[in-house]
Structure 1
Amino acid sequence: MAHQLLQGKKGLIFGALDERSIAWKVAEHAVAEGAQIVLTNAPIAMRMGKINELAAACNNAPVIPADATSIADLENLITRGMEHVGGKFDFVLHSIGMSPNVRKSIPYDETNYDNFLKTLDISALSFHKVLQTAKKLDAINEWGSVVALSYIAAQRTFPGYNDMADAKSVLESIARSFGYQYGFAKKVRVNTISQSPTVTTAGSGVSGFNAFIDYAEKMSPLGNADAEQCAQYCISLFSDYTRMVTMQNLFHDGGFSNTGVSHLLIEDLNRLNGQ
């Protein structure tokens, strides 16, 4: 049920690929809550995905291609986006991540460093570039909200998550460092959400990801948070009810991040050991 939490607000959403994308769900919920949005993704992702279908369902939202690693593309995107909505944005979602090493199944300890740099640029430094460009163009209203999506591999080792773990660590650090600067300068708040492992096109490329999901489900007292629930959490962070929340990495994972071991996992281990 929509409550019009974003009535009159204007947002920019990066990364909607298809209906499995968290960004896709965020876009749908933002519009249902009264927001006007602009959609964007990299040109290659737009060719692969269904973003135009999403745009049509979101009051014919404009779709502006942009490579988030390119300052020129970001300047064009933000300038054109503000022209469309008739002013500054109130919220931005960064839902961008890709690792060539993961895609090519190159182990972490045998990493290709050119690929590694691309992972960092796409998955983390793009967040800094979005924030820097938005601040330079004065594109976000006071008390606006910027959210990026992260994962607990930024704090803990998950074999198979590869160099994406390092990228998520950098992403979360950028939220703290830029959140400090943007907060003092413009009262803009910047946060990351550490989401449960979620079935998305990006996540499905990580080795052993289905095992991550099953493990987290058994560890978390509330179970895994799905994409729909993550979108709802994003909406709360875009709303005026969270004006004093900034520079935080917020765990949206059913309690996984604070659970040492669960009785379900103990029972599984006992069965494997014949007890």
Structure 2
Amino acid sequence: MDLSHSLTVSASLSWTDKVRLVLPTADADRREVSLIQQAQLLPIPTVCSEELAEIQPDHFVLRYSDGCWQLFPPTDNDAFGRHSLGIDFVQNARFNQPMTLREPLAKAAGLRANRRPVVIDLTAGLGRDSWALASTGCTVFAFERHPLIHFLLSDALLRARLEPKTHDIASRIHLYGSDAREAWPETIKPDKDTVWLMDPMFPERQKSALVKKDMRIFHELVGSDEDAVALFVWARRQPANRYVVKRPPQSPALAGAKPSMSISSGRVRFDCYIKPAASLTQ
């Protein structure tokens, strides 16, 4: 199969054209499933389970399976593998332990033994950075504007709050399904100690087997953050202790702005900006 061609063709469609929703049919299943009403509010067609075999070759399918909502890839496209994309902080043991202060993200956020700032994550995505920071004791306000990813992350956090071992971490994350610039909650009041975090999505480089297939699903449906520079400019005009931008190691600094410092680790680089920059332009 020509991998690059198959991805290019599907990229011309909106994510709402690529995904179908399958709801549980049995009453017992429906009682156990969380967020059914929220799932039905997603702007995607709903199909019955009997149609699953017919639609799955050509569409991503959002359905409840093994205790959580998951997104299953089309069965006729090997580019996305056979594994579903879901978010789970409960079953994976690595999410049950706090991030150490030696980790690059902790250093970039300026965490210290007695310092746990409020963090505003403007691009929450799969929630892993928000979770890591909340695991250290930080309160995190996380924004995810893509409806489908916001739904999956909401489901994961809801389940994590119900488990004793993950309840405290999940309860420190406050998730919003909006662009922070367009619907800022009045209850969030950033100040000189606030840490702002961004992990903007950019177009993938040449398709490679090195790119995990679950992340190919993410890229396929979410696309790139074409307004990343504008979001960065807006954020740097807000009160803060620092602004942290997560980047691939060889990528240029966002908006060409030279960071105060950078912390690199393997395939990730954190660019840290210590002071606001009211003079930045888009």
* TM > 0.5 fold call: no
Normalised TM-score (structure 2): 0.39
Q: Which has the higher helix share?
A: 1
Bigger Rg over Cα = 2
